[in-house]
């Protein structure tokens, strides 16, 4: 096998093939323990899982950049957040902080960056997963209120640094119900529209067949989506792909909020708003609407080139309006420019 690989390795380059791994399984003709096809298939299945699982690397909060997209992982103690990370990435359970008792093993916020978001989630944007301490925590210092305060600090700093919050995964058992108060920090920073980025993830369905609690309907009416997690790498990857598919829309919503702050700050409440302010807000609205249309049409036949070009044109118009406004040194203007550069 080694000789064949040495003689033929250039073929993969010629045919533009990417070889992640290769395996050769052999056994003696009269072996007392022959290798059966089922064993080989199991080994190949495991190999494919390892190849396609996204790789994580720890990252500090101060290493986050405006170009990345952040997913928050929430849930009560014992709901399986750390196990979700282990299943998604393949890192050992003890490294992910998995506990098998109803005591929290996660006592602080942990941020993980996926090393290859394009392969993992079909996204060119660096994706960061933030694991949080569980609510109803066994640690008396980690009350729900203190955890929410810490989340609020993260969110305010992310917002000021124009780091996009692309999604919130709230994990819960089939018998449990998410607490609305746990979403309060997100609503305070982003408004009620943030519920459209919430995924209510039911875990451990393999242990119970109890139906979803009716109390979830209120969150769904606010815009949250339900997802049944099947405790497999494929299911975890599908969930993250669903969340990251909204990256551009989440960025556009953030851009619109920053533009709104800018125009309100520049306007004199005793005077009519100038044309540049109105024009900039109108362009931000148009940009957001175009990206929503692109998302909808991409789900069917792929994003039309015409809409993509329109989006690019609108961003150029916004840059022109900023230049014409004569506020080049304003911090908010710089923030708008920074947001535009993330596309």
pLDDT at 96: 56
CATH of the domain at 330: 1.20.1440
Specify whether the CB–CB gap between 150 and 182 falls below 8 A. Answer: no
Kindly state whether residues 140 and 203 are assigned to the same domain: yes
Kindly state whether residues 86 and 207 are assigned to the same domain: yes
Lowest mean pLDDT among 16-25, 270-279, 324-333: 16-25
Q: Among residues 10, 37, 52, which one ends one of the domains?
A: 52
Does position 16 have pLDDT exceeding 50, yes or no?
no
Q: Calculate mean pLDDT across residues 287-292.
A: 94
Q: What is residue 139's DSSP assignment?
A: S
Kindly state whether residues 173 and 194 are assigned to the same domain: yes
The gap from C-alpha 220 to its chain's centroid, in whole angstroms, comes to 19
Kindly state whether residues 241 and 256 are assigned to the same domain: no
Q: What φ, ψ does residue 128 adopt, rounded to 5°?
A: -120, 130
- Residue pLDDT, tens place only, 215-261: 678 889 999 999 999 989 899 989 998 998 889 999 999 999 999 99
Q: Calculate mean pLDDT across residues 173-196.
A: 88
pLDDT at 31: 54
Kindly state whether residues 25 and 103 are assigned to the same domain: no
Owning domain of residue 318: 248-341
Kindly state whether residues 196 and 275 are assigned to the same domain: no
pTM, whole model, 2 decimals? 0.76
The gap from C-alpha 236 to its chain's centroid, in whole angstroms, comes to 12
Kindly state whether residues 115 and 240 are assigned to the same domain: yes
Q: Calculate mean pLDDT across residues 171-182.
A: 82
- For a pLDDT cut of 90, what percent of the chain falls above it? 36
Kindly state whether residues 46 and 95 are assigned to the same domain: no
Kindly state whether residues 196 and 65 are assigned to the same domain: yes
Kindly state whether residues 171 and 133 are assigned to the same domain: yes
Angle formed by the axes of helices 331-341 and 305-325, to 10°?
160
Tokens of 293: 């249309």
Q: Among residues 203, 225, 245, which one ends one of the domains?
A: 245
Kindly state whether residues 300 and 237 are assigned to the same domain: no
Q: Among residues 245, 275, 296, which one ends one of the domains?
A: 245
Kindly state whether residues 161 and 257 are assigned to the same domain: no
- Residue pLDDT, tens place only, 122-134: 567 888 999 999 9
Q: Into how many domains does the chain fold? A: 3
pLDDT at 112: 87
The secondary element (H helix, E strand) that includes residue 278 is helix 275-298
Which residue is associated with the tokens 């942990």?
110
């Amino acid at each position: 096998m080694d000789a064949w690989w040495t003689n033929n390795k250039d073929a993969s380059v010629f045919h533009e093939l990417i070889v992640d791994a290769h395996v050769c399984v052999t056994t003696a003709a009269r072996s007392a323990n022959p290798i059966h096809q089922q064993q080989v298939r199991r080994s190949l299945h495991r190999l494919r899982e390892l190849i396609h699982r996204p790789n994580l690397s720890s990252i500090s909060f101060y290493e986050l950049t405006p170009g990345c997209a952040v997913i928050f992982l929430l849930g009560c103690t014992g709901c399986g957040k750390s196990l979700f990370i282990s299943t998604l990435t393949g890192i050992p359970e003890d490294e992910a902080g998995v506990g098998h008792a109803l005591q929290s093993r996660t006592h602080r916020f942990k941020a993980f960056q996926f090393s290859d978001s394009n392969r993992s989630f079909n996204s060119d944007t660096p994706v960061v997963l933030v694991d949080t301490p569980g609510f109803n925590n066994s640690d008396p210092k980690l009350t729900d209120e203190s955890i929410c305060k810490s989340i609020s600090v993260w969110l305010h700093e992310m917002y000021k640094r124009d780091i996009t919050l692309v999604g919130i995964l709230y994990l819960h058992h089939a018998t449990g119900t998410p607490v609305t108060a746990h979403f309060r920090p997100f609503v305070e920073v982003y408004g009620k529209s943030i519920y459209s980025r919430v995924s209510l993830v039911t875990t451990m369905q393999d242990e119970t067949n109890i139906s979803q609690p009716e109390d979830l309907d209120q969150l769904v009416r606010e815009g949250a989506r339900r997802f049944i997690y099947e405790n497999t790498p494929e299911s975890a990857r599908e969930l993250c792909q669903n969340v990251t598919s909204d990256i551009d829309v989440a960025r556009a919503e953030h851009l619109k909020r920053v533009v709104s702050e800018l125009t309100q700050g520049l306007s004199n409440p005793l005077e009519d708003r100038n044309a540049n302010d109105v024009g900039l807000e109108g362009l931000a609205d148009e940009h957001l609407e175009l990206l929503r249309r692109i998302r909808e049409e991409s789900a069917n036949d792929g994003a039309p080139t015409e809409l993509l070009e329109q989006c690019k044109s609108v961003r150029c118009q916004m840059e022109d309006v900023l230049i014409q406004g004569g506020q080049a040194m304003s911090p908010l203007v710089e923030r708008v420019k920074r947001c535009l550069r993330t596309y």
